[in-house]
Amino acid sequence: MMTDHLLFAVGASHKSVSLSMLELLARKWMGNMKEALLEISQATRGSARELCLLSTCNRLEIYGVGSLDSTARLKEMLMSSLPGAGPAGVYALPTNETLRHAFWVASGLDSMVIGETEILGQMKSAYEAAREAGFTKGVLNTMFQRALCVGKRVRSETRLSLGRLSVASVAVELA
């Protein structure tokens, strides 16, 4: 069933599942980004036109442009990879929420440590790998370029990135 194409994000994060479950997902797609994106594309049965995989220690998210069918198939695929997570463990965001979410992630506002800086570099690397592998086009290119600009701007124009900037730095200080 092909419907109008829409921007979406499907994933799991530290807010929806345990870190051990996120590790399961990360291990599944560690390694070659192009191969991971091919596998994800095949899971949509051709209903996704653009894809990008963001995998960090705190999240695994698939951003894409496709049909509602794409979103449903990807959510089902992730849920089957997370035994015991339940349906609330994997989220699927519609277009308007995907844009906001990408900006929040790039800015470090959706992190375990608010303002952490690593996510911006991880997002940039994920986007560049997807672009180089031919999985992004106009919509995702524009979204990621804007999100990366917003993330940089938030860090340079606010005091958000002052202080502890990563989970590791907080752990070291507590130890």
Task: Catalogue the active-site residues.
Answer: 57
In the numeric block, the tokens 């997002």 are attached to 123
Those residues whose C-beta lies under 8 Å from the C-beta of residue 7, and which sit 6 or more positions away, are: 63, 64, 65, 95, 98, 99, 139, 140, 143
Residue-level length of the chain: 175
**Under 8 Å between Cβ of 86 and 25:** no
Question: Cα angle vertex 123, ends 125, 53, to 5°?
Answer: 85
DSSP secondary structure code for residue 17 in this structure:
S
